[in-house]
Amino acid sequence: MEARVEGVTHDWLATRLDRGGPWFQYTAMNRRKFLKVSSAASLALCAAGPLAAVAAGENKRVGLIGCGWYGKSDLCRLIQVAPVEVVSLCDVDRTMLSDAADYFATRQKSKQKPRTYRDYREMLAAKDLDVVLVGTPDHWHALAMIAAVESGADVYVQKPISVDVVEGQAMLAAARKHKRVVQVGLERRTTPHLIEARNDIVKAGKLGTISHVEIYCYYSMRARQNPPDTAPPANLDYEMWTGPAPMRPYNKLVHPRGWRNFMEYGNGIIGDMGVHMLDLTRWMLGLGWPISISSSGGILLDKEDKPDTPDTQTAVFDFGSLQVVWQHRSWGDPPDPEYFWGTTFYGDKGTLKASVNCYDFIPRGRGQRIHRDAVLELDQYPEDRTEPGIETFAAPGNRGNMQDFMSCVASRGRPISDIEEGYISSASCILANVSMKLGRSLRWDNRAGQVAGDAEANALLRRPYRAPWTHPEPGAV
């Protein structure tokens, strides 16, 4: 049985753009695009037609904003599956930028060294990019993505799409206004073994009626340290790195990669890891917005450490006839040692456990258990074996996401991880943090784009921006 939330509308966006019409609806083809895919081979075939059209023309010109760990990883996956030329790179860390330019001169077919920029606005001002990847820390996603679509580029932006709800609304509005394809890095939707689980277990009815889903992460994600603040390194423009976020003293835990330890730049573990599993659940079950969201938790164990993200959090996303419960602990052991980070679907006919590494179907009573491991595709892409920092478990899904993205760049359709899907999943996790902060449940009104009857909660949907940066608004993009 497929759980659904009916009557999901997007009136708030049409009101802010003063536009009507079903321009945010999926085409029938794109809604069905990945439903029958159950292997890496068939995933590649799904995008073969549109990608062949891309290959027949000139290579798409690509720029990357944010040349750290995952920005580079995303660009490597794009190079693997589509005919592109990396022409521009941007980063506020001189060393990171220089290293990335040298690296991509070796990875791309032309062997040309990309141009380098310290300010993404200068990179986009040339208006010579077909595609822009945004791989910055979360607090920069909104401004960079909106500027990129305004420049005429299609965009691949990492998750969560924003650090507050109104940023996400503005990003969705900008994508629709400028008629740009925007794909979000929620690659569980294009991960081969998870597509198989969706088709062969969930859609096939093997679980029966699903009324409860658990999503969870038990990795030790926070730095258990309290180093002193220092001056930023000479290679980092810390003023520009901070951008619209609050200016705090530089700490070595922040850069590179450690910014996830601080709520000024992200949304904690629920925004980093939980968004993947909530989005996976929504995709597998065909869910829209939760009706209400409640959350509790905080820093319960690591009270002396520098990070200010919660080390413990529980959240309930109520979809009416179905509840999705998030559980995070950055301490202790997981209930199932095989599933540190994943999703468990409970049906009246069986249980499905799904993670980035595998899935397990356990029928109730008699029946055959099914186990599938992820296929890493290392034989097809041997360069993955030596790529620095690669998450090999994520690479197949990332490639699938890039294939789907470039397919839609060619067809002008909506991708499977479209910006609207990224907005719903990201905003739901952000609302869980708002609920935890306020200590009460929030009832979401999607028609208004606000929390129903809660002015204090609605004031937290838009974070203050540090001058001279201006917060984007849905009706102003």
- 158 and 204 together in one domain: no
Range of the domain at 310: 194-382+424-459
Residue 475 has a pLDDT of: 84
Number of structural domains found in the chain: 2
- 262 and 159 together in one domain: no
pTM for this entry: 0.90
Token digits of residue 261 = 């330890």
- 224 and 166 together in one domain: no
pLDDT at 34 over 80: no
CA 258 to chain centre: 18
Residue 28 domain flag: no
Token digits of residue 463 = 């974070």
- 240 and 160 together in one domain: no
- 269 and 167 together in one domain: no
- 146 and 114 together in one domain: yes
Residues in the chain: 477
H or E stretch at 359: strand 358-363
The model's pLDDT over 402-447, given as tens digits with 9 standing for 90+, comes to 999 999 999 999 999 999 999 999 999 999 999 999 999 999 999 9
The model's pLDDT over 88-130, given as tens digits with 9 standing for 90+, comes to 999 999 999 999 999 999 999 999 999 999 999 999 999 999 9
- 202 and 306 together in one domain: yes
Residue 469 domain flag: no
Token digits of residue 186 = 């929620």
- 359 and 451 together in one domain: yes
DSSP letter string, 26-90: PPHHHHHTTTT--SHHHHHHHHHHHHHHHHHSPPEEEEEE--SHHHHHHHHHHHHHS-EEEEEEE
Domain containing residue 168: CATH number: 3.40.50.720
H or E stretch at 445: strand 442-445
pLDDT at 330 over 90: no
